[in-house]
Amino acid sequence: MQTPLSSYSPARRRLHNWWLAFLIWRERHIKEKNLIIILSLAVGIVAGLAAMVLKWLIHFISGALTSGVSIAGANYIYIIYPVVGVLLACWYVRVVVRDNISHGVTRVLYAISQNKSRLKPHNMYTSVVASSVTIGFGGSVGAEGPIVYTGAAIGSNLGQAFRLSPRVLMILVGCGAAAGIAGIFKAPIAGMLFTLEVLMLDLTTVTVMPLLISSITAASVAYIFTGYDLEFFFVQSEPFVIWRLHYFALLGIFCGLVSLYFTRVMNLMEKIFSRMGAQWRKTLFGGAILAALVFLFPPLYGEGYGSINSLLNGDPSSIVDGSVFYGDRGQTWFIILYIGMIILLKGFATSATNGAGGVGGTFAPSLYVGCMTGFFFAFLINSLGLSPAGADPLSVKNFALMGMAGVMAGVMHAPLMGIFLTAEMTGGYELFLPLLIVSTLSYGTIRIFEPYSIYTMRLARQGKLLTHHKDRAVLTLMKMNSVIETDFLPVQPEWNLKQMVDTIARSSRNLFPVLGPDKELMGIVVLDDIRNIMFRPDLYRRMHVSRFMSMPPAKITTDDSMESVMKTFDDTGAWNLPVVDSEGRYVGFVSKSKIFNSYRRVLRHYSED
């Protein structure tokens, strides 16, 4: 509820009046298209700074906690640190924030499709605080989901401050999300592609320029503060040769299957946590899983970017540093088994972190699993001697890089973003063709089994997902309560024909709901059905509504999506259908003409170019 102006302090009231005067001046002197460009630049700067703050906090906390850790054996602090981080983040969210800020990308998608692209002001900073504590203390999640949520909130709230329409807010939300990715990875092209492929904003002449400006600006901010080093250090020492094309294809299919496994594990664990009820049970269960996994497999600690750098430099033995298995670091088959177990268990560690109350995303875990998958694939083939006789072994570094793009493309259903993000983070542009092959085949493989990404499947099940499919997108943006008509006069089944005729005389409609004592819908009366008897006074006392009422061809509930409503109209051929609540009580009617008018208005509003 909005705070009344009369309750403001004098200084705040003056500021409010000054801002309104500025908005009036802006409307007269700055066109909306020019304002969008200016705001996209501002969003890029602020979101880029937020990304830098988040990275610094994570590195500062993690460095302070692990600076004295020994690599030559087990470290029991790995049992404690991740659980402490989850407990601190859980306390912060429940006591300070008092709002659910998990699943950041999914919440941005929900805001776009169901909340007119409006995000709360606290989302501009709360995810940064909670995720830095979670990841810094060793939670096995990524910072990219929270920074997308933060950047999107920055764009949304800046647009709301300028009283912009939902159509423009949607663009600014996309700008903030793109800037978050571009800032944290120094990858402007990937930031824009993330918005197009994952958030599913349409690429038009209106959206392309703001998205590019925000992404480039945020990446520039990152370069100013952190220098020109790439996110991951990678030097291609083995050339790309075309005869290995079939290995790239096999890796793409393998990455698609690993992506499917990772997605299914995350969904399974999410269902298990949702059934636990009390938060203390979730924290106890998730904390125990996380502590055990991080202790046995220290590469699962935090984002795991150190392990990625080790594999991209061809150094697999360092993967067991700091673990109870340090003594086996020189054994080839143990390294293969160890990396294979990390691939299988990363999804459990990530979901345990979030389920226990931590805050983080699945972006970095998919990169991590992808790097492990590519390295595992090439290392296993080389160890088995499956390369052609006389040929050089497969480059484990190159395949680790391709695996990153492949699993990301599969998990997020974003092949272009996977390709460009991997290339921009590592400078591996010479492997562009293999990256294309692996990402495309991975995406094609997982699409056979799972039509939605890990971010969109929750909303897709509820019919609340905005997609590039224009018809579905418009129906998703429409709200059921905006098309329900309530000016139909109800009748009761025990009424006689005389009472029915009197009601018809007072109505401007030709349709009448028949309601029971608790307002439950028992049937309908159509004027055309009783036209032959309504002028016969001899039947006025003898005929009752229960005799000539009929059942509607279908009923619509208030929880139905607009897409399912339109399907019901198509299946029944009806022009008007009654709407009931979850308990069968009458709410109103929905007509095709009302839906078509609303559809045309929404389509025109969100398609302005």
- Supply 467's token pair: 């997609």
Q: Which residue has tokens 């509504």?
A: 545
Report pLDDT for 467: 47
Higher pLDDT pick, 532 / 444: 444
DSSP 581: -
Q: Which two tokens stand for residue 222?
A: 């990152």
* Least confident residue range of 50-64, 332-346, 370-384, 517-531: 517-531
pLDDT higher than 60, residue 426: yes
Asked if 97 contacts 130 with a C-beta cutoff of 8 angstroms, the reply is yes
The rounded radius of gyration (Å) of the Cα atoms in the chain is 29
**Cα–Cα distance for residue pair 128/104, rounded to 1 Å:** 11
Kind plus residue range of the DSSP H or E element containing 484: strand 484-485
| Helix (H), strand (E) at residue 515 | strand 511-515
What pLDDT, in 10s, does the model give residues 114-152? 788 899 999 999 999 999 999 999 999 988 889 999 999
Give residue 328's pLDDT: 67
Neighbours of 588 (CB within 10 A): 17
More confident residue, 415 or 462: 415
Distance CA 121, CA 360 (A): 19
At residue 468 the predicted structure's pLDDT band, cuts being 50, 70 and 90, is very low
Report which DSSP code applies to 580.
E
Confidence of residue 602 (pLDDT cuts 50, 70, 90): low
Structure tokens at 425: 């983070």
How much is the pLDDT for 149? 93
Task: Please list the helix, strand and coil fractions of the chain in percent, rounded to the nearest 5, in that order.
Answer: 65, 5, 30
CB-neighbour burial class of residue 604 (10 A; exposed 0-12, middle 13-18, buried 19+) = exposed
What per-residue confidence (pLDDT) applies to 473?
Answer: 52
Token duo for residue 64: 């302070």
Sign for the CA dihedral angle at 12, 19, 99, 138 comes to negative
Average pLDDT (396-423) is: 91
pLDDT higher than 60, residue 474:
no
Query: Residue 173 — pLDDT band, cuts 50, 70, 90?
Result: very high
Cβ distance 2 to 160 under 8 Å? no
Least confident residue range of 58-62, 162-166, 208-212, 409-413: 162-166
**Is 33 or 231 the better-scoring residue by pLDDT?**
33
pLDDT > 70? residue 3: no
Q: In this structure, what is the dihedral angle of CA atoms 417, 420, 421, 422, given to the nearest 10 degrees?
A: 120
Does residue 597 have a pLDDT over 80?
no
Predicted pLDDT of residue 451: 85
> What pLDDT was estimated at residue 608?
52
Q: For residue 80, is pLDDT > 80?
A: yes
pLDDT for 311: 87
User: Do residues 141 and 362 lie in contact, with contact meaning Cβ atoms separated by under 8 Å?
Assistant: yes
Closest CA to 338 of 353, 350, 325, 327: 325
Q: What pLDDT is recorded for position 256?
A: 96
| Residues 219-250: tens digit of each pLDDT | 999 999 988 887 787 777 677 777 788 899 99
Q: Among the residues of 275-331, which ranges form H helices?
A: 279-296, 305-312
Write down the mean pLDDT value for the chain.
86
Residue type, 3: T
pLDDT digits (tens, 9 = 90+) for 89-122: 999 999 999 888 887 788 888 888 778 889 999 9
The predicted model scores a pTM of: 0.80
Check the CA dihedral 410-412-417-422 and report its sign: negative
The pLDDT value given to residue 570: 81
Question: Strand, coil or helix: what is 237?
Answer: coil
Give the per-residue pLDDT at 6.
60
In contact, 124 and 347? CB cutoff 8 Å: no
Q: What is the pLDDT of residues 562-590, one digit of tens each?
A: 777 878 878 888 888 888 888 888 988 88
User: Which is more confident, 457 or 258?
Assistant: 258
Q: What mean pLDDT is predicted for residues 381-394?
A: 78
CA 235 to chain centre: 33
- The tens digit of pLDDT for each residue in 295-352 reads 999 999 988 888 888 888 877 888 888 787 777 676 888 889 999 999 999 999 999 9
* pLDDT grade for 476, boundaries at 50, 70 and 90: low
